[in-house]
Structure 1
Amino acid sequence: MAGRQGDQQAARSGADQDPTAAFDAERDLLFGVAYRVLGRAADAEDVVQDAWLRWREVDHAEVLDTRAYLIRVVTRLAVDRLRSAQHRRETYVGPWLPEPILTTPDIADDVALADSVSFAMLVVLETLSPLERAVFVLREAFGFSYAEIGEVIGRAEDAVRQLARRARQHVEARRPRFDADQTTQRDATQRFLAACGSGDVEGLMRLLAPDVALHSDGGGVQKAPRRLILGADKVARFLASIAQQPPPEARAYLATVNGQVALVVTSHGEPNTVIALDVSGTTITRIHLLANPEKLTALDDVSEVGVPIDLW
């Protein structure tokens, strides 16, 4: 099994490698698959850990292709976990946004990988069935063939093609359109933060698309709007207001989160809020605001990898 990340590495059997080293060599790929299927870093880590426990018990001499075996285990575990989580997400308080993760700036060099981990894409993927989502992730993000995906999910190649076509049509009909590169996105984010920090409502409105949407996720734990805020005027006034009320011992950082430049605010050294922007041209079309502390644990290292900024 090759896929986009496997072109440089030939398939190796379990008997060819030390089991721990073999698993560790695939760990990042396994987490990437699980996270894109689940949209939660904590759940993805659990799935990878479960896969490791299974890998320890298997007869490695019987495994002809380590990567194929591990991808199959992780994908099936992730699909099962997603199915069991669907009811919780249906009863979630307010809008549901994916759990953010820190990513390296060079992820933008691989457009498919960066797009598949973005907030906008992960929100759209929530509307797919678990099996459609797994097929879409393996095909579009990681470049696996239909035959390889069929082996992973236990379906015939024709059935995989149908799932992939249905998922792709669904995603294309719903995905937001934005085309800003990292530099443009960073510039837009910095102008946005300058306007927020000064409470400049008119300045904010000039940066926002007329039909801009703000999605906020407090999970019923932190105070946050439980409905979308729509329109430049309403969004600008809301942002200018909250920017003047920073949390205690607030620090602000620019970091690469889910493949895009984002603001991460900490309080007493702990992640408190994340704001990420979708930018088309130089215009902000969508804003993702996450404040649910249960979803911010993967950002604990932001003070080490982020760039401090003077916001207050």
Structure 2
Amino acid sequence: MNTHLMEARPSLVPDGCAATSTIDDLEDAVSVFVRARPSLINIACAILGNAGEAEDVLQEVWLRLQGTDRTAVHSPPALLRTITVRVAINVLQSARRRREYCATPWLPESPDPDVTPDAVAERQDAVERAVALLLETLTPRQRAAFILREGFGYPYDRIAGLLHLSVVNSRQQVTRAQQRLRAQRRRQSVDSVTHRRFVQAFLAAAQTGDMARLEQVLLGDVAQPTSR
């Protein structure tokens, strides 16, 4: 493998700025990418707040680097940082769009204040039915993990911290919730007071971003002696 990039030192150009080697071939690109990887991970994590998603971003960065005209690149580290920032922001914006416009069948999209009263009523009804299904079908931990992840895009490490679980266990809770919902295995009846409390907390989070209230309701439910 060509290792001249790993051994090279920046040389000074007339204006006093350091010149950076180009990455003419793929082996040089690999070397530069590997050396830059720790800083790129830090950038992606800072934007996304999630190590797993940051790793996905770096895979995309590497694919884009391979498709770049590397003979025209004079500062590979700067290029990699720029690509990382752009990809991470795209992922962040995409996640927000999914939460706003592409909700799961069990978590309806957030109400839009500009729609007609009839549409608002329909969405209110959809939220009430969805919450009833979640309450009847899922255990408290499954419900909390599912709503926070699928409804509001919480990273798994944040869910794990709230529920006092490992990240692996948090993922399992979401997976089990999805399986139960697909199977429509209703496990219990729900009283109207509990249902109304969850609906109000969900709508407050969706409409105003009041996540503290939703977290309080979900975690209070988990803390009940009957939660599993």
Shared fold per TM-score greater than 0.5:
no
Which structure has more strand as a fraction of its residues?
1
| Structure with greater Cα Rg | 2
Q: Which has the higher contact order (CA 8 A, sep 6+)?
A: 1
Which structure has more helix as a fraction of its residues?
2
Shorter-chain TM range is 0.3 to 0.5
TM-score, normalization: structure 2?
0.40
